[in-house]
Amino acid sequence: MQINALSTADTPNPAFLWREGAFVPWSEAMVHVNAVGHASVAAVFEGIKAYRADAGDALLVFRLYEHLQRFVDSARLSRVAMPHDVEGLVEATLDLLRSNRTAMDTYIRPWCFAKGIVRQLLVPEGVATETLIDSWPFDSSLGSERGVKACVSSWRRIDDQSMPPRVKAFSNYHNARFAALEATRAGFGATILLDRNGKVTEGPASCVAMVRDGALVTPPVYGGILESITRDTLLVLAREELGLPVVERPIDRSELHVASELFFMGTAWEILPVLALDGLAVGNGAMGQVAKALDRAYADLVRGRVDDRRGWITRHPIG
């Protein structure tokens, strides 16, 4: 089962990308082939979603400021020059949506990489950079019955003593790629990584939560995970809208096998229930009641069906 389908071969390209203050036609946004590999070593990025409101009059960009603050923080922690501040990046993002006349669910990807041809294998600190903002349509899975069969990976998650997991950097995802490839070869649709002490961290490109003894339990942010904005959103919704106890603590691998529910959470996957782990059914082997309730609360929020009392939505009028 292929889940992470943010783009496909027939996904239309936008008219423009934002590139250092200019709107560049998509087909002309080029770098030299010799720049690609080195530019990627230290590159940082973000993943942001804009949902079309049920009323059809606006795109609702979800937690845009928080995503762009993390983007700026990732550049700082990676020692990558970032000449743009959050307010400027917010303005650029909304200008890009306006220039492309975007009117559908859209994935937005800002990224920052070393500019030009850098001959050093290890990109030097302070090298000049370029910042781009790209976008493309996506199909949301919110409101659908869904799930995936997963496994626990033999690979270990990076930790803060090797390279900071809280940084959203392209090179961090090579760790996740190894785990995802292993899972795919074994016939699974997703995987969960443990840390060097055997504690649960996250999946490739997504955090993890389980329901046990009536509480929503998830690894802490110091446990080798990305400081996920979707994770934070769902913990708030679980606590404030569903009235669930929320516990952030280390989780043993064996606990996953006795959880009543288990799911991934992230911008790309939104909420993705795990139906079976390592061949063992999770709960009754179907999307659980907590996941369904969180799915509804999340969808109501991003589609504008409820008041945005937390200031998480940036409204972009359509037309």
pLDDT tens, the chain, 319 aa long: 344 445 545 678 899 999 999 999 999 999 888 887 777 888 999 999 999 999 999 999 999 999 999 999 999 999 999 999 999 999 999 999 999 999 999 999 999 999 888 777 778 888 889 999 999 999 999 999 999 999 999 999 999 999 899 989 999 999 999 999 999 999 999 999 999 999 999 999 899 999 999 999 999 999 999 999 999 999 999 999 999 999 999 999 999 999 999 999 999 999 999 999 999 999 999 999 999 999 999 999 999 999 999 999 999 999 7
**Domain identity same for 85 and 117:** yes
Report the pLDDT value the prediction gives residue 74, as an integer from 0 to 100.
95
Cβ atoms of 202 and 192 closer than 8 Å: yes
- CATH number, residue 49: 3.30.470.10
Residue 219, in any domain of the structure: yes
Same domain, 122 and 159: no
pLDDT for the residue 6: 55
153 lies in the same domain as 130 = no
Whether residues 293 and 181 fall in one domain: yes
My answer on whether 133 and 154 are in the same domain is no
Predicted pLDDT of residue 2 = 41
The verdict on 76 and 174 lying in the same domain is no
Residue 318 lies in a domain: no
Q: What is the CATH number of the domain that holds 251?
A: 3.20.10.10
Does one domain contain both 270 and 198? yes
Helices (H) then strands (E): counts for the chain: 7, 16
Euclidean distance between CA atoms 180 and 192, whole angstroms: 9
- In this structure, the answer to whether residues 180 and 227 fall within a common structural domain is yes
pLDDT the model gives residue 270: 97
Q: Do 130 and 153 reside in the same domain of the chain?
A: no
For the chain, the domain total comes to 2
In a domain, 309, yes or no: no
The one-letter code for the residue type at 49 is K
What is the number of residues in the chain? 319
Pair (100, 212) in one structural domain: no
DSSP strand E in the chain: where?
16-19, 22-25, 44-45, 48-52, 58-62, 106-114, 129-137, 148-156, 190-194, 207-212, 215-218, 246-248, 261-266, 270-277, 280-281, 313-317
Query: Is the residue at 257 inside a domain?
Result: yes
Whether 191 and 274 share a structural domain: yes
Which of the listed residues 116, 137, 158 is the one where a domain comes to its end?
137
144, 137, 109: which is closest to 271 by C-alpha? 144
In angstroms, how far is CA 144 from the centroid of its own chain?
19
Known catalytic residues?
168
The pTM score is: 0.93
Domain holding 55, by residue range, is: 16-137
Domain end residue (candidates: 137, 162, 192): 137
pLDDT confidence of residue 148: 98
> Same domain for 91 and 152?
no
